[in-house]
Chain A
Amino acid sequence: MNKLLNRISMRQFLFSELVKRDFKQKYKRTLLGMGWSVLSPLLNLLVMSLVFTQFFGRNTPHYTIYLFCGTLVFSCYRESTNGGMNALMANARIFTKVNVPKYLFVLSKNVSSLINFGLNLCVFFLFALFDGISFGPHFLALLYPITCLVVFNLGVGMILSALFVFFRDITYLYDIFTLLLNYMSAIFYKVDAFSPMVQRIFLCNPVYCYIRYFRVVVLEGGIPSLPFHLLCAFYALLAAAAGGYIYKKYNHSFLYYV
């Protein structure tokens, strides 16, 4: 028991040091670096709203917020998984020399991008306030999709980082995949125009599900159904289980490939 506690405190120390390192690496100790991470999604949003308000925004109330829900969740997904993908290779020099639990690298990358997400979320709420969205206790339900998203990102990050060790060109393939996913996640258009059959297919996309959850809470002022909750959790756990399985199985094989 004592041994276990000791081990946990050791891991915790390593983990917090890794998070600190990743955070410092990212922002290079500049305030502008931090500001940029908020500004860049905002500029992205500005461009998208300039372009798409003409096409889709006319009969959508709060179109900017609608768009923001999409870009907020999607940029969190993209950043976490891209960071996670590099996490293992970037630390190859460490885990080939010291016996450390490798999932910590992915975990710490995810935490530092989560901090970024938190900043963006604040900006999002500010926007929502200006746009006259009515806040209420149901906003607390947003913690659920955020938790699911974090677990999902972690799982995908683990899968990708393992793949990246085995196949170095996975970055390019994943870039294309992200672009495709971006268009399939109904970020700037509404799914109502499609037939019910196609709308079901959209539910196969986990990122779309999390975006949709956000929209239901923020724009429609409600909370999604129980099956929808289960679906969100299912995707997250599936990704995490797959990632965990790969790490367990290949834990000692990564070394041969770097």
Chain B
Amino acid sequence: MTIIQANGISIRYITGDFKDIGLKEYVMRRLKGDYHVTEFWADRDITFSLEKGDMLGIIGSNGAGKSTLLKAVSGIMVPTKGHMEIHGTVAALLELGSGFDGDLTVRENTYLRGAMLGYTRKFMNEMYDSIIEFAELQDFQDRPFKQLSSGMKSRLAFSIACLVNPDILILDEVLSVGDGAFRKKSGDKMRQILSGGVTGILVSHSVDQVREMCNKILWLDHGKQVYFGNETETLCNAYEEFLITRKLPESFVEIETLSDAFIRRKEEERRKKQMNEAQKLQSILESGSSDAAVEAALSIIRKRKPELLKE
């Protein structure tokens, strides 16, 4: 069953003089003919489709149009061109920490955030205790939100969002909150949610995370779609190679070439590392004064390659 079908999505931002100018200034500029608005395409002609249970990883460097695309999927923006079909409820975890009110208590903020994510009061009443427990904020429930540390804030945000039970889950750089222990806990929770059959979209700058969690990849660069497909390994390899060489592939054949280059590079690195290790070991042994090194070498050879000694 197709959950998300995006056909030729283009999203245009308008930038220019209109932002932060007042009515007086606007009228003056209009009269002088000095009013300029420029267009900026954050996404151009993006096409992809996700089936139920798919996990899409969106990769691309800064300014590639990833977050804008997510905003279109979550319904905050409408595509300027193209058509998007979405079947199911969407929960978007975009930039977790913002949107809380410093003067309200932790409890009030929790309910407010829950309401914004579209839960009902009944659901929140049931879930409240487990949210606080997961965020480890039992002792802070009635403190004003501004007294929390920033780590605590994002922990709370993650915990609220985590209890979502949506059909489509959007994760924008959210798997990197809190300290090490919490990061592990949140990663486990995320995997648990994803194994429950939701369709997910993940944006992450950690390619390893994408490799681990995603079965489809959408590669964007400066708003253009480089490739969409389910060849996760090849694409991730090619992307990592691209990050080093900055050469954008034009076709899938070039992607494969890039990927091969990356594998070769990795292999090379590995060999170098091994070589270095062997050299190091040898130098240690050689610098020893006694014959212990020779004896050790002999005993290793005896154990592993006895046929060498026979010769």
**Which residues does A use to contact B, with CB under 8 Å?**
6, 9-10, 13-14, 16-18, 20-21, 24-25, 28, 93-100, 166-170, 173, 252, 255-257
With A13-B120, A28-B103, A257-B19: A252-B78 Cβ-Cβ less than 8 Å: yes
Question: Which residues in A have their C-beta under 8 angstroms from that of B76?
Answer: 95-99, 255
Q: Using Cβ atoms and an 8 Å threshold, which residues of chain A touch B121?
A: 9, 13, 16
From A25, A97, A173, A255, B99 is in contact (CB under 8 Å) with: A97
Minimum Cβ distance to chain B for residue A87 (Å): 14
Q: Check: B199 CB closer than 8 A to any chain A CB.
A: no
Residues of B within 8 A of A18 (CB): 112, 115
Complex contact A21–B108 (CB within 8 A): yes
Q: Does residue B300 face the partner (Cβ distance < 8 Å to A)? A: no
A166 to B118, alpha carbons, bound, how many Å?
Answer: 28
Does B77 touch A at the CB level, under 8 Å?
Answer: yes
A13 near B119 (CB under 8 angstroms)?
yes
Please encode chain B, from 78 to 113, with 1 for each CB lying within 8 Å of some chain A CB and 0 for all others. 100000000000101011001101011000100110
Q: Which residue of B lies closest to A29 (CB)?
A: B103
Interface of B toward A, CB cutoff 8 Å: 13-14, 18-26, 74-78, 90, 92, 94-95, 98-99, 101, 103-104, 108, 111-112, 114-121, 124
Q: What total of A-B pairs shows CB separation below 8 Å?
A: 83
CB-CB under 8 A from A252, the residues of chain B are 77-78
Query: 12 pairs across A/B with beta carbons < 8 Å?
Result: A10-B118, A10-B119, A17-B111, A21-B108, A97-B99, A98-B92, A98-B116, A98-B117, A99-B90, A166-B18, A167-B26, A169-B24
- Known pairs A98-B94, A99-B75, A166-B18. 13 more at Cβ < 8 A? A6-B120, A13-B115, A16-B121, A17-B108, A20-B108, A93-B99, A95-B76, A99-B74, A100-B116, A168-B20, A168-B21, A170-B23, A256-B19
Majority secondary structure, A binding face: helix
Q: How far is the CA of A256 from the CA of B12 in the complex (A)?
A: 10
Residue on B nearest A6 in the bound complex, by CB? B120
Does B104 contact A94, Cβ atoms closer than 8 Å?
no
Residue in B22, B78, B90, B92 whose CB lies within 8 Å of A168: B22
Q: Within the assembled complex, what's the spacing in Å between the Cα atoms of A28 and B146?
A: 14
Contact of B115 with A14 in the complex, beta carbons under 8 Å: yes
Partner of B18 from the list A13, A25, A98, A257 (CB cut-off 8 Å) is: A257
Report the nearest A residue to B23, measured CB to CB.
A167
**Interchain CA distance A167-B22 in the complex, whole Å:** 5
Residues of chain A within 8 A (CB-CB) of B78 are: 252
Residue of A at shortest CB range from B74? A99
Which residue of the partner chain B has the closest CB to A172?
Answer: B22
In angstroms, Cα B116 to Cα A100, docked, is 7
> CB-CB < 8 A to B120: which residues of A?
6, 9-10, 13
